[in-house]
Chain A
Amino acid sequence: MTVRHYLLSDDPETRMQARLGRTYRLARALARNPLAMVGLVIILMLLIVAALAPLLAPFSPIEGELANRLQPPSATHWMGTDELGRDILSRVIYGARITLMIVLLVAVISAPLGLMIGTVAAYFGGWIDRVLMGLTDIFLSLPRLILALAFVAALGPGIENAVIAIAITAWPVYARIARAEVLTFRNAEFLDAVRMQGASSLRVIALHVVPLCLSSTIVRVTLDMAGIILTAAGLGFLGLGAQPPLPEWGAMISRGRSFILDQWWVATMPGFAIVIVSLGFCLFGDGLRDVLDPKQRSRG
């Protein structure tokens, strides 16, 4: 039996086969969406560039030759040089690592936290719901940048604090999404059935409720990546995130502000990088949503 047959079989013989089959079907459906594939390519490129930065970057991202400062894009320096003579291309490449780190850390912290809170709130309802949602509302109303400023004032600037600031303001959204999702099937009979079998609330929530919220959460995280990148860039721009000489894209744009009229490449190159990566996440997230949550599919 060919691999394809094995995966598409209607009667899997083992748990593993069933799971692989499902993943394969999803992947195939996703592959049919050209825009999603574009997004995926962009994301993969980000990962590769971040992983292979030392190999790919032609120059050092932090050491520059002052004699070479503010050179326009040329054959040696594809993206030109900045005000300290550093190669912008190398800085953008190394900056991918920082961007990726921020995005992953925020996702890993805020999504599970929000998912848990939203699920528990919706499942139990009553005062638990009210308290948790009240908490969520408080955090939702905190303006991200102001909070970051507050953190900086308290703990000093730096990437870690930027990540924490963003994560703290990001989790409420996932809580709300998870809660809305759980509310739709909270009274479903399959949950009644599991409870009747004697399952504890913890088991019901962890094994039966959360799996149903996962796809919408994953989609939302992917779509949010773009926003997180922009927020991190914004923080960097304000000098609150990555500190010099780290090549964080937002900080690079900030530095390039002063030269924007005559030496446009200093600010624009990292700007392109941000736009392309954000777009990649958006396209992929859209495609993922179409595949995982067909009800929200856009027409056609």
Chain B
Amino acid sequence: MIQVQNLSVRYDETTILHDVSFNVAAGESFALVGESGSGKSTILKALARQVKPSSGAVQIGVDPQEGADRLTLARQAQMVFQDPYGSLHPRRTVDDALIEPLVVHRLPDRDQKVLDMLDAVGLPRRFRFRLPHQLSGGQRQRVAIARALMLDPPVLLLDEPTSALDVSVQAEILNLLKSLHEEKNLTFLLVTHDLPVASFLCDRLAILKSGRILELADVATLRTGNFASEYGRELFQRSVG
């Protein structure tokens, strides 16, 4: 479903990603794990077309990416951002945020779809006309997830979706993501620095450091810490110790 081939991203003099390659199958949940500066967010941005690859290719779905217009791309993959306080327009109600993609793509049944989506992400319907500043961090993140799902994309790109949330709220959002993943058979590409989150949500992962993939592993390896790379073991130790 997602193919990244020899992706390199350079900005001025610095190389952020060196020749990164990996694949994610349809319905799989894949984690990109690393610290800040590892380039993991840049991979998401390349997939979201916010950043242009300097060399290599990224592809989502079976359609070729080259020349695809933004409306088609929008229906293939959507993103959930890290900061619940920055990812919602401060002057737009929840309803506005959820209806926007439907309006852009001229889809029908807008009111009904909004109500259904509020139910699906566990937001009470009475929040429909609230502004972001009237919502808690967890509620905003639910809106962000709802917004990402309005167009029914098969792929969801998640950039540290819970790291800015309180502990008790994080569990709710993680549960929600897991349920949605199962119910809608979504493909997840999750960026995180938090190994336990990857352990809960994902099937496979890649460990990144300084713009390179050091290791590809599955979740069983993550749970035991039996990484092949030393850096992987180091990350494991820090999570446990």
Tell whether any CB of A sits under 8 Å from a CB of B in the complex: yes
* Minimum Cβ distance to chain B for residue A198 (Å): 4
Check A212 for interface membership: any CB of B closer than 8 A.
yes
Residues on A with C-beta less than 8 A from B49 are 196
Contact residues, A193-226 vs B (CB, 8 A): 193-200, 203, 208, 211-212
Stretch at the interface among B59-67, B74-82, B177-185, B223-231: B74-82
Taking a contact as CB atoms under 8 Å apart, the answer to whether B90 and A11 are in contact is no
Check A155 for interface membership: any CB of B closer than 8 A.
no
Contact with A along B80-122 (1 / 0, CB 8 A): 0111001111111101000011001100000000000000000
- Whether A197 touches B95, Cβ cut-off 8 Å, given contacts A17-B129, A212-B90, is no
Taking a contact as CB atoms under 8 Å apart, the answer to whether B130 and A193 are in contact is no
Taking a contact as CB atoms under 8 Å apart, the answer to whether A193 and B87 are in contact is yes
Taking a contact as CB atoms under 8 Å apart, the answer to whether B129 and A199 are in contact is no
Taking a contact as CB atoms under 8 Å apart, the answer to whether A11 and B87 are in contact is no
Check B221 for interface membership: any CB of A closer than 8 A.
no
A126 to B26, CA, bound (A): 39
Q: For chain B, which range describes its interface: under 10, 10 to 19, 20 to 34, or 35 or more residues?
A: 35 or more
Check B126 for interface membership: any CB of A closer than 8 A.
yes
Residues on B with C-beta less than 8 A from A11 are 126-127, 129-130
A136 to B90, CA, bound (A): 29
Residues on B with C-beta less than 8 A from A212 are 90-91
Check B50 for interface membership: any CB of A closer than 8 A.
yes
Taking a contact as CB atoms under 8 Å apart, the answer to whether B91 and A198 are in contact is no
Check A12 for interface membership: any CB of B closer than 8 A.
yes
A12 to B126, CA, bound (A): 7
Check A74 for interface membership: any CB of B closer than 8 A.
no
Check B70 for interface membership: any CB of A closer than 8 A.
yes
Check B48 for interface membership: any CB of A closer than 8 A.
yes
Check A13 for interface membership: any CB of B closer than 8 A.
yes
How many A residues, CB 8 Å from partner? 25
A197 to B95, CA, bound (A): 15
* Minimum Cβ distance to chain A for residue B51 (Å): 11
Check B73 for interface membership: any CB of A closer than 8 A.
yes
Taking a contact as CB atoms under 8 Å apart, the answer to whether A10 and B130 are in contact is yes
A208 to B79, CA, bound (A): 18
Residues on B with C-beta less than 8 A from A194 are 89, 100
Q: Across the interface, name the chain B residue whose C-beta is closest to A17.
A: B129
Contact residues, A150-201 vs B (CB, 8 A): 188-190, 192-200
Contact with A along B35-76 (1 / 0, CB 8 A): 000000000000011100000000000000000001101110
Taking a contact as CB atoms under 8 Å apart, the answer to whether B48 and A189 are in contact is no
Check B217 for interface membership: any CB of A closer than 8 A.
no
* Minimum Cβ distance to chain B for residue A25 (Å): 11
Residues on A with C-beta less than 8 A from B104 are 197-199, 203
Contact residues, B124-164 vs A (CB, 8 A): 126-131, 134, 144, 147, 151
Taking a contact as CB atoms under 8 Å apart, the answer to whether B87 and A190 are in contact is yes
Check A18 for interface membership: any CB of B closer than 8 A.
yes
A192 to B82, CA, bound (A): 12
Check A295 for interface membership: any CB of B closer than 8 A.
no
Taking a contact as CB atoms under 8 Å apart, the answer to whether A190 and B89 are in contact is yes
A48 to B139, CA, bound (A): 47
The 8 Å CB contact of B88, one of A14, A190, A198, A200, is: A190
Taking a contact as CB atoms under 8 Å apart, the answer to whether A188 and B86 are in contact is yes
A196 to B73, CA, bound (A): 8
Residues on B with C-beta less than 8 A from A5 are none
Check A15 for interface membership: any CB of B closer than 8 A.
yes
Taking a contact as CB atoms under 8 Å apart, the answer to whether B129 and A13 are in contact is yes
Residues on A with C-beta less than 8 A from B144 are 193
A196 to B75, CA, bound (A): 9
A75 to B88, CA, bound (A): 63
* Minimum Cβ distance to chain B for residue A65 (Å): 58
Residues on B with C-beta less than 8 A from A208 are 89, 92
Q: Across the interface, name the chain A residue whose C-beta is closest to B94.
A: A18
The 8 Å CB contact of A193, one of B81, B93, B129, is: B81
Taking a contact as CB atoms under 8 Å apart, the answer to whether B100 and A199 are in contact is yes
Give 6 A-B contacts (CB < 8 Å), ordered by A residue. A13-B126, A15-B93, A188-B86, A189-B81, A192-B50, A193-B144
Given contacts A11-B127, A18-B130, A193-B79, 8 further A-B contacts (CB under 8 A): A13-B128, A15-B93, A190-B86, A192-B87, A194-B100, A196-B49, A197-B101, A212-B91
| 8 nearest A-B pairs in the assembled complex, by CB-CB distance | A198-B74, A18-B129, A11-B126, A189-B87, A197-B101, A12-B129, A198-B71, A190-B89
* B interface residues (Cβ-Cβ under 8 A, vs A): 48-50, 70-71, 73-75, 78-79, 81-83, 86-93, 95, 100-101, 104-105, 126-131, 134, 144, 147, 151
